[in-house]
Amino acid sequence: MEDEEDPQCGKPDFVLLDQVTMEDFMENLKLRVKDVLLKSTCVLEAFGNARTNRNHNSSRFGKYMDINFDFKGDPVGGHIHSYLLEKSRVLKQHVGERNFHAFYQVLRGCEDSELRELHLQRNPALYNFTRQGAGLSASDSEERSHHQAVVEAMQVIGFSAEEVGSVHRILAAILHLGNIEFVETEEGHLSVAEDRLVDHVAELTATPRELVLRCLLARTVASGGREVIQKGHTAAEASYARDACAKAVYQRLFEWVVNRINSVMEARGRDPRRDGKDTVIGVLDIYGFEVFPVNSFEQFCINYCNEKLQQLFIQLILKQEQEEYEREGIAWQSVEYFNNATIVDLVERPHRGILAVLDEACSTAGTITDRIFLQTLDTHHRHHPHYTSRQLCPTDKTMEFGRDFRIKHYAGDVTYSAQGFIDKNRDALFQDFKRLLYSSMDPTLRAMWPDGQQDITEVTKRPLTAGTLFKNSMVALVGNLASKEPFYVRCIKPNEDKVAARLDEGHCRHQVAYLGLLENVRVRRAGFASRQPYPRFLLRYKMTCEYTWPNHLLGSDRAAVSALLEQHGLQGDVAFGHSKLFIRSPRTLVTLEQSRARLIPIIVLLLQKAWRGTLARWRCRRLRAVYTIMRWYRRHKVRAHLAELHRQFQAARQPPLYGRDLVWPLPPAVLQPFQDTCHALFCRWRAQQLVKNIPPSDMAQIKAKVAAMGALQELRKDWGCQRAWSQDYLSSATDNPNASSMFAQRLKTLRDKDGFRVVLFSSHVRKVNRFNKRRDRALLLTDQHLYKLEPSRQYRVMRAVPLDAVTGLSVTSGRDQLVVLHARGQDDLVVCLHRSRPPLDNRVGELVGVLAAHCQGQGRALEVRVSDCIPLNQRGARRLVSVEPRPEQPEPDFRCSRGAFTLLWPSG
């Protein structure tokens, strides 16, 4: 449990992880750890983790890591301490479990060429040490990827290629060593069943084959003098020596890997005065409480470690509680809790503790069996409340006579089998193997056995037993942890089947018990269950009191908290410290939380309303600013554009162009309609200036050309706008030299008869009628009638059509002079203007213009159609008129066919 107070200044921290991998911890905390710190987890898991019945990646060793951070929070180094590697797993595993991951990764992950060099095959079932877990192996691809990850991690950490190769050779040697079997010959000598396995071990360890064989079959004993005696093994003794060697080699390999990682991670050459103060975080990732169907020496040590840590944690919590009470001025009350010091004393008490009795059994001369060791325990602890055995409790049939004893741990009862306790505690390895491996030509393997350099006759002190070494390491670990500020991370597994979405309540309760959480909570709740600093308490609950919401006006936060609690009637369940409020029962917190929960929605609505209003005001101010900027910018653009227009059109009044070649500047989008209007006004003004200089006699011609342009612009390529229009060509001696006087007489007669005022147009034409007859005729257009005249008979009137009846005319888009006049109630008149001077003069535009201008003057519209295939109507019959250019045609003429007329036009 994390204390509410900040850690004391200068006091290191440590984090306890139970069944949580270091990699998960670092990911969750998002530590900026160097690659070495991260990759070390992968390597240590390969050599120290294994698949068990409860976890596919269970740590089979304890680990404490110190991580050094500089003043910026960046990791600058670290150091790893390992505890009690379960090396007996190398020899044998429980049903459903595997050996260490490293063996399977080498078998499944190495390349075929490397396996041949190691004399290995991929099937783990071929080797005694991995046969048990062969059927539980992951797929080849997974093991190969894991192996590749481990090799890459070792390279990142700094392992050389030669060191990685040495590690693989040592693992292969252990596998071959496990397959060596011993047989007795007829002469009573001991030999190896398969000599090739000895060759493989000698080659992989870089040692002489003869020495390997000698160490397996016999041992060297030094007598009191300097004499050396060679003593042969029995088959059982040789098997024991082989297994001890395998365990020791793997343990030394694991320790070498840890030391190699430490040599890379160690922070060197740091001076706090120069580099700033370091902060150390210690992470303890150690085995949890273990209870198996058969519990041996390893489980005894693991559970002793948990008892030791539980004792420390309870003491730390009590110490924290007492220090906090004294710091806040609260009277300390004695707390009732289960003190497991009696269990720790049962294990580590000098002379009478289980470890002391076990060491005495290991050091006593003569044959001391596990059964005698158990009898000694029964003698010393027959009255201990936490110890029992079948000898002391004959009615308990769950234990066997002479084998089992039971310890009542804080987490529950555990029955241990005393078989193998003495051998595992003695952890004996004959000196011959140490000298053999020290003489190896492999520098990596040689460095793992520095104690092998002792001479065979050198007298040394008895080495410490495994139990004593573990106890000493636990004492050092506890002393280290006691000097730090603890933070706890606990992991609860929901079920034993390793499946998702399934919660086994009984299993979870059991874990809560053996993790010691109940004791921790019981100690914290024995006094005041909850405590909060006054500012934090006010920040959460001030809305429940009218005197503290939104901000209090009292003298201090403590006074405000007191007023809040009095309003709720809860002042009897709390105590006031110097800086914190201590709350005794959870009922007080529940009451406050319920009051707060009722008010939170109202406060949220208030905040939402205020925030929405704020956002709306911000948006309104921004819009106003935007519109103001836009308005002033438009003014600027308008003024700039108008100034530019004024500058450009300073010379527009100068004749004769009146600003024709002036370029209008590009206006802003907002002024585009204004400029369009100005452009139209300018065009009108310029036209007015130009028209003022035109003589009145030319105005009729100008209006006709304007009308023709409106009707034919972009529809007919050439309509004669570039020349002067005479209109009355039949009265012209130039155009009609032989009959102009005759036409003038006829014109005078018609004026007297019909009373027209002006001749709009007159010309010779070639016409065709509905009877397909083609004749030369004359066309006269006055302000009242349209006349068809016969030139050969003194321009006799053949047809007169009131001009009001003429509704439109049709022309083509080419240079031909075809005209079709449409009249209401009359047949359409089809003519071609000809016999002009100059020949084939373009007068169609003139006819269209004068007629259109006259109609505009009368206020009626004239329909002008431009088409290369003109439809016409003659006495109800519909026909088409088209033009066919002919270079060889001397004069324009019509060709008649069924239902159509074709004007043959001289194209040359």
The residue-averaged pLDDT of 702-708 equals 87
- State the DSSP H helix or E strand holding residue 543, giving kind and residue range, or none if neither: none
The residue-averaged pLDDT of 346-369 equals 84
Report the relative pairing of strands 785-790 and 796-802 from DSSP bridges: antiparallel
CB under 8 Å to 327, separation ≥6 — which residues?
577, 578
**Closest alpha carbon to 80 in 250, 285, 278, 309:** 285
The residue-averaged pLDDT of 383-410 equals 88
Q: What integer pLDDT is reported at residue 8 of this predicted model?
A: 38
Q: What integer pLDDT is reported at residue 312 of this predicted model?
A: 81
Q: What integer pLDDT is reported at residue 94 of this predicted model?
A: 82
Phi, psi of 167 (to 5 degrees): -60, -45
Label residue 292 by pLDDT band (50, 70, 90).
confident
Q: What integer pLDDT is reported at residue 13 of this predicted model?
A: 52
pLDDT at 289 over 80: no
Structure tokens at 757: 């005022």
Q: Which has the higher per-residue pLDDT, 19 or 585?
A: 585
pLDDT at 711 over 80: yes
Q: For 837-850, give one letter per residue: b (16+ CB within 10 A) or e.
A: eeebbbbbbbbbbb
pLDDT at 898 over 50: yes
pLDDT at 415 over 70: yes
Angle between helices 431-438 and 209-217 (to 10 degrees): 170
Rounded to the nearest 5 degrees, what angle is found at the Cα of 841, between the Cα atoms of 839 and 847? Answer: 140
Q: What integer pLDDT is reported at residue 6 of this predicted model?
A: 39
Distance, in Å, from the CA atom of 68 to the CA atom of 76, rounded to the nearest integer, reads 6
Range name among 334-338, 670-674, 747-751, 780-784 with the lowest pLDDT average = 334-338
Q: Strand pairing partners for 63?
A: 82, 285
Q: What integer pLDDT is reported at residue 334 of this predicted model?
A: 67
- State the DSSP H helix or E strand holding residue 532, giving kind and residue range, or none if neither: strand 530-533
Distance, in Å, from the CA atom of 230 to the CA atom of 877, rounded to the nearest integer, reads 143
Q: What integer pLDDT is reported at residue 369 of this predicted model?
A: 85
Q: Let me know: does 896 contact 772? Beta carbons within 8 Å.
A: yes
Distance, in Å, from the CA atom of 561 to the CA atom of 565, rounded to the nearest integer, reads 6
Percent helix, strand and coil across the chain, each rounded to 5?
45, 20, 35
- Dihedral of CA atoms 855, 857, 858, 863 in degrees, nearest 10, equals 20
DSSP type of residue 663: P
Q: What integer pLDDT is reported at residue 506 of this predicted model?
A: 85
The count of residues in the chain is 908
Structure tokens at 45: 């898991």
Structure tokens at 480: 């280290």
Label residue 275 by pLDDT band (50, 70, 90).
low
Q: Is-cis flag, bond preceding 550, omega within 30?
A: yes
Cα radius of gyration rounded to whole Å, the chain: 58
Q: Let me know: does 564 contact 547? Beta carbons within 8 Å.
A: yes
For 534-548, what is each residue's pLDDT tens digit?
Answer: 889 898 888 888 888
Structure tokens at 415: 């029955």
pLDDT at 460 over 70: no
For 647-699, what is each residue's pLDDT tens digit?
Answer: 888 888 888 888 888 888 888 888 889 889 999 999 998 888 888 888 887 78
Q: What integer pLDDT is reported at residue 472 of this predicted model?
A: 87
- Dihedral of CA atoms 536, 537, 538, 541 in degrees, nearest 10, equals 130
For 569-618, what is each residue's pLDDT tens digit?
Answer: 888 888 888 888 888 888 888 888 989 999 999 999 999 999 999 999 99
Q: What integer pLDDT is reported at residue 63 of this predicted model?
A: 86
Label residue 457 by pLDDT band (50, 70, 90).
low
pLDDT at 43 over 70: yes
- State the DSSP H helix or E strand holding residue 131, giving kind and residue range, or none if neither: none
The residue-averaged pLDDT of 256-278 equals 74
End-to-end CA distance of the chain: 113
Q: What integer pLDDT is reported at residue 398 of this predicted model?
A: 87
pLDDT at 26 over 50: no
Tokens 């993790």 -> residue:
515
Long-range contacts of the stretch 335-339 (C-beta < 8 A, 24+)? 335/523, 335/526, 335/527, 336/526, 337/519, 337/522, 337/523, 337/526, 338/410, 338/519, 339/311, 339/314
Most confident of 117-131, 466-480, 507-521: 117-131
Label residue 150 by pLDDT band (50, 70, 90).
very high
Report the relative pairing of strands 863-866 and 806-811 from DSSP bridges: parallel
Distance, in Å, from the CA atom of 405 to the CA atom of 410, rounded to the nearest integer, reads 16
Tokens 């269990």 -> residue:
343
Label residue 3 by pLDDT band (50, 70, 90).
very low
Q: For 444-474, give one letter per residue: b (16+ CB within 10 A) or e.
A: bbbbbbeebeeeeeeeeeeeebbbbebbebb
Phi, psi of 830 (to 5 degrees): -110, 115
CB under 8 Å to 253, separation ≥6 — which residues?
47, 167, 170, 171, 448
Range name among 57-61, 119-123, 903-907 with the lowest pLDDT average = 57-61
Structure tokens at 69: 């951070």
Percent of the chain with pLDDT over 70: 91
For 713-743, what is each residue's pLDDT tens digit?
Answer: 888 888 888 888 888 999 998 888 889 999 9
DSSP string, 613-651: HHHHHHHHHHHHHHHHHHHHHHHHHHHHHHHHHHHHGGG
CA atoms within 13 A on the CB side of 801: 20
CB under 8 Å to 400, separation ≥6 — which residues?
390
Mean pLDDT computed over every residue of the chain = 84
Q: Let me know: does 535 contact 557? Beta carbons within 8 Å.
A: yes
pLDDT at 761 over 90: yes
Most confident of 181-185, 350-354, 862-866: 862-866
Q: Is 143 exposed, middle or buried (0-12, 13-18, 19+ CB in 10 A)?
A: buried
pLDDT at 563 over 50: yes
CB under 8 Å to 406, separation ≥6 — which residues?
387, 388, 389, 396, 399, 413, 414, 415, 416
Distance, in Å, from the CA atom of 609 to the CA atom of 607, rounded to the nearest integer, reads 5
Distance, in Å, from the CA atom of 453 to the CA atom of 431, rounded to the nearest integer, reads 10
Q: What integer pLDDT is reported at residue 24 of this predicted model?
A: 56
CA 232 to the chain's CA centroid: 67
For 806-819, what is each residue's pLDDT tens digit?
Answer: 999 999 998 899 99
pLDDT at 907 over 50: yes
pLDDT at 276 over 60: no
Rounded to the nearest 5 degrees, what angle is found at the Cα of 64, between the Cα atoms of 63 and 70? Answer: 140
Distance, in Å, from the CA atom of 307 to the CA atom of 288, rounded to the nearest integer, reads 10
Label residue 190 by pLDDT band (50, 70, 90).
confident
Structure tokens at 626: 């935007």
Percent of the chain with pLDDT over 90: 27
Structure tokens at 672: 């585009």
**Closest alpha carbon to 869 in 899, 834, 826:** 899
Whether the predicted model's global pTM rises above the 0.75 cut? no
Coil, strand or helix: which one is 748?
helix
Q: For 493-531, give one letter per residue: b (16+ CB within 10 A) or e.
A: ebeeeeeeeeeeeebeeebeebbbebbbeebbeebbebb
Q: Let me know: does 767 contact 788? Beta carbons within 8 Å.
A: yes
Range name among 179-188, 358-367, 747-756 with the lowest pLDDT average = 358-367
Rounded to the nearest 5 degrees, what angle is found at the Cα of 390, between the Cα atoms of 405 and 53? Answer: 45
The residue-averaged pLDDT of 520-533 equals 74
Q: What integer pLDDT is reported at residue 720 of this predicted model?
A: 84
